Structure 1
Amino acid sequence: MVGELWMNLVWPQSSDRLPCRFKGISVHICLYQKKKISTINYTIIVFVIAIFILRARDICLNSGKQREIPLGGGETRCLKRMDLITALAESLPRGTIRLGCQALSVRLDSSTSSPSLHLQNGSSIKAKVLIGCDGTNSVVADFLDLKPSKLFSLSEVRGFTMYPSGHNFGNQFVQVKGDKCTVGRMPIHNKLVYWFVTQKVMYGRGGLEVPKDPELIRQLTLEAIKDFPSEMIDMISKSDTKSLSNTRLRYRSPWDILVGNFRKGSVTVAGDAMHTMGPFLGQGGSAGIEDSIVIARCLAQKLAENYDKKSRARHIMMMKVEEALDKYVKERRMRLVLLSTQTYLAGLLQQDSGLIVKFVCIFLMTALFSDMTRHTRYDCGCL
């Protein structure tokens, strides 16, 4: 049954090509996540490409003061999300991915209680298990009655810049903080650099649309960082416009993760659909990888309990699936509560939250997260 479940796996995607629908353009990976996925062949390709980040610095634009940012006790790399997604897709059996499938709703069959995913083209996919990895605006999360994600009063522009002759930034992450925005730079390899500009929302509040035109994004970003170091301005002016993205930062509140119902029947969620968080710790993508490892392990363990038995009645197998999903949710919940709390507090400190709120945030950060890099040493276990 374990093998049958794998071979019948379907990965519907709304776009007609890969990579699709993913707003992020990079994934920050630390040592512990790498160790747990290193047995999978696609990681060999990805980790050969991405260089080892040895140092991180935080620079104040006004005073010029610098401080070292602790990276934790292990290895840190920045990966192109496209490389990771493509490698994952290529490792799946042929026919697993269905492109051009925009999910509209999830329904349970009245007689079997099995979920079915209804698509925009009028068709549907009947499933034994449905795992929603459909991002912040998740249809599956809506089916589970999870509260919608909330908005930070911050937006972030992200992009890549290619240096054909190589750059001289070394193996270090640099973050320059001004009054209204922060510019970060992290090399992926010796010719490609990932960068971001986080700024307080200036296009209106309440979820108003931010610019999507790549050239306009670049022009507005250059205007916002006109007082920053020339190498930062040059980096963004030479960026690949096709790589530019501009998004309002969202989060699922820690208390919603603490009390949220992440399973209904054989339906659950993972990744941003489960725990949307700001990019302030660089752990969102890694948390999604952790989800996949834990849910695969839980399903394999529970289904294996009944694999060699004669009785493989549907209701018994579905009971094992539900037990596996409950185990997955239980195992992930407190890790995600702590991670989202630390990220939420870091986000409040960056936006206009008022002196009292910032004082409370600093107090809580000191009390709860005195070891600022502990989250990078989390061990989610093996597959």
Structure 2
Amino acid sequence: MHAIVIGGGIGGLAAAVGLHRVGWTVTVLEKAPEFGDVGAGISLWPNALRCLDELGVDLGDRLAPQQEGGFRDPRGRRIARYDGAEFERRHGRPLGAIHRRDLIAALRNAVPAESLKTGTEVIEAGEDGLVRFTGGELRADLVVAADGIHSRVRHALFPDHPEPVYAGSTAFRGVAHHPGARLSTSFGRGIEIGVLPLTGGDVYWWISSVAEPGARPVDLEKTFGDWHEPIPALLAATPPEAVLHHDLYYLGTPLGTFTRGRIALLGDAAHAMPPFLGQGGCQAIEDAVVLAHTMSTEDNVKAALESYDRQRRPRSQKVVRESVRMGRLGPQLTNPVATGLRTALLKVLPAKATARAGAGITGWRPPRLPRPVPPRTP
């Protein structure tokens, strides 16, 4: 059985790993000239880490478990504490962080090199499994469309479906070297600034700010220079050209199905969400494991795709709704009374309560995939 995966990001590569693991031949078509340094950092919650275990992807010492930290106000005063040990005890896995480039590399290395084709833009994907791209065409038993929030495949399959909508905030992201930084999320009026330690003394930082879509970028050092450390130091240590800036969009109208013919939508192409729960990449990895499982357990591709849609659509669309809700109740609050109430509520939360937060999402466990058979000794 042969699968074509359109898109070589986290979701696409995870799908390729899963399908390869269950015995499929896989071809990954990526329009970029190489699989490389994509984005800044990413948080990996226990649900995603369990999926990576199932895929057989070992992140090793590239994963940075988050030990302690908490919520703070712009002056650095602690609002609520995060207890990493308690979190891991409750969830069985830590909250982890990793460079996106390292996650991409780990997934890429779990797929045969001959399966990866870069500099290849898909022109058309048919429901019958025929995929036309720059340089040729291929026919497959399964087509996985992991081509992102502005998915060309999704638009072709569902031309009347509404396009992604603006989430109300713009975002800045970067990575700086700052050994000793601790996990923190700091709230202002309409603003969230996150600090997420990576390995080797690097730190992934992000800022979300309520703004009109298409607003001009602000001078980050000037705008946030009076926030608590290490925020000013991180901004100063990040070259301006290395700062990623983009408005936040999500798929506001849920799809009625993630599949059509032999095509499965996966990741942002199926359920793009705002980042306020840190679950975008995690949900794509979940998709990949479930897709591989259904392809290895159902009698045919049609039944497998029906099972994939039945399992993934309700859960992932619920996470989209929760992400939108979390943004409105947290980082996107601008009313001073509402922000004061948010701070007061967070202050009375014990560390054990923060460790329990989100258990309904992070507690998800993936289906088991077949284990590789070790080669026989001659």
Q: Give the residue type in structure 2 aligned to 1:125.
A: L
1:135 Cα shift?
0.7
Spell out the pairing of 1:161-200 with structure 2 (5 A cutoff): 161-163=176-178, 167-169=179-181, 172-200=182-210
Partner Cα separation in structure 2 for residue 331 and residue 90 of structure 1: 28
Contact kept? 1:19, 1:86, Cα under 8 Å: yes
Q: Which residue in 2 is equivalent to 1:380?
A: 366
Q: Quick check: 1:277 aligned with 2:273?
A: yes
| 1:301 match | 297
Kindly state the Cα deviation for residue 128 of structure 1 after the two structures are TM-superposed.
2.1
- Give the structure 1 partner of residue 282 of structure 2: 286
Aligned to 1:339: 319
Q: Does the C-alpha gap of structure 1 residues 290 and 12 become closer, same or farther in structure 2, counting only changes over 3 Å?
A: same
Deviation at 1:65, TM superposition (A): 4.9
Residue 9 (structure 1) aligned with residue 26 (structure 2): yes
CA distance in structure 2 between the aligned counterparts of 1:228 and 1:93, rounded to whole angstroms: 47
The amino acid across from 1:220 in the alignment is D
Deviations 1:92-117 (A, max 9, x none): 12321111112233234xxxxx2323
Distance (whole Å) between structure 1 residues aligned to residue 359 and residue 146 of structure 2: 27
Structure 2 contact 180–201 (Cα < 8 Å) conserved = no
C-alpha displacement at 1:131, in angstroms? 0.6
Alpha-carbon distance in 1 for matches of 2:365, 2:175: 30
Q: Which residue of 1 aligns with 2:119?
A: 100
Structure 2 counterpart SS, 1:185: strand
Report the Cα offset of residue 144 of structure 1. Answer: 2.6
Q: Which residue of 1 aligns with 2:130?
A: 116
What is the one-letter code of the residue matched to 2:131? Answer: L
> 1:62 Cα shift?
6.0
The alignment partner of 1:346 has SS state of helix
Rounded to whole Å, the distance in 2 between the matches of 1:18 and 1:33 is: 21
> Structure 2: any 5+ residue segments left out of the alignment?
3-18, 343-355, 370-378
Deviations 1:275-313 (A, max 9, x none): 1111111111111111100000000112xx4xxxxxxxx
Q: Which amino acid aligns with 2:42?
A: V
CA distance in 1: counterparts of 2:190 and 2:45, whole angstroms: 29
2:108 pairs with 74, 77, 89, which one?
89
Q: What is the Cα deviation at residue 142 of structure 1?
A: 1.2
Question: Which of 252, 263, 267 is the aligned partner of 2:263?
Answer: 267
Which of 282, 305, 325 is 2:305 aligned to? 325
Deviation at 1:329, TM superposition (A): 0.8
Instruction: Report how far residue 10 of structure 1 moved.
Output: 1.0
Contact in 1 for aligned 2:47/2:282 (Cα 8 Å): no
Q: Give, in whole Å, the separation in 1 of the partners of 2:83 and 2:147.
A: 32
Q: Which runs of structure 1 show a deviation greater than 4 angstroms over 4 or more consecutive aligned residues? A: 1-7, 69-72, 240-243, 352-358
Asked if the contact 1:181/1:225 (under 8 Å) is kept, the reply is no
User: In the alignment, which of 45, 48, 66 is matched to residue 30 of structure 1?
Assistant: 45
Q: Which amino acid aligns with 2:202?
A: L
RMSD of aligned C-alpha atoms? 3.0
> What SS does the corresponding residue of 1:325 show, helix, strand or coil?
helix
Contact 1:152 1:351 in 2 (8 A): no
> Conserved in 2, the CA contact under 8 Å of 1:36 and 1:382?
no
Match of 1:150 in 2: 165
Q: TM-score scaled by structure 2?
A: 0.77
Q: Which residue of 2 is the match for residue 226 of structure 1?
A: 225
TM-score (norm 1): 0.77
Equivalent-residue separation in structure 2 for 1:323 and 1:354 (angstroms): 50
Letter in 2 for 1:25: A
Using a 3 Å threshold, how does the CA distance of structure 1 residues 357 and 191 change in structure 2: closer, same or farther?
closer
Q: Secondary structure at the match of 1:9?
A: strand
Q: What secondary structure does 1:88 align onto?
A: helix
Question: How far apart, CA to CA, are the structure 2 residues paired with 1:77 and 1:378?
Answer: 16
Distance in 2 (alpha carbons) for counterparts of 1:209 and 1:233: 22
Q: Which amino acid in 2 is paired with 1:251?
A: Y
Q: Which amino acid counterpart does residue 180 of structure 2 have in structure 1?
A: N
Cα distance in structure 1, aligned partners of 2:36 and 2:267 = 16
- The offset of 1:352, in angstroms, is 6.1
Equivalent position of 2:145 in the other structure = 132
Tell me, yes or no, if the aligned pair for 1:181 and 1:224 is still in contact at 8 Å: no
Matched pairs, number: 328
Percent identity over paired residues: 19
Q: Evaluate the alpha carbon distance shift between residue 357 and residue 183 of structure 1 in structure 2; reply closer, same or farther with a 3 A threshold.
A: closer
CA distance in 1, matches of 2:156, 2:366: 27
Q: In the alignment, is the contact (CA less than 8 A) between 1:144 and 1:263 conserved in 2? A: no
Relative to structure 1, is the Cα distance of residues 122 and 222 closer, same or farther in structure 2, using a 3 angstrom cutoff? same
| AA in 2 matched with 1:161 | A
* Bigger RCO of structures 1 and 2 (CA < 8 A, at least 6 apart): 2
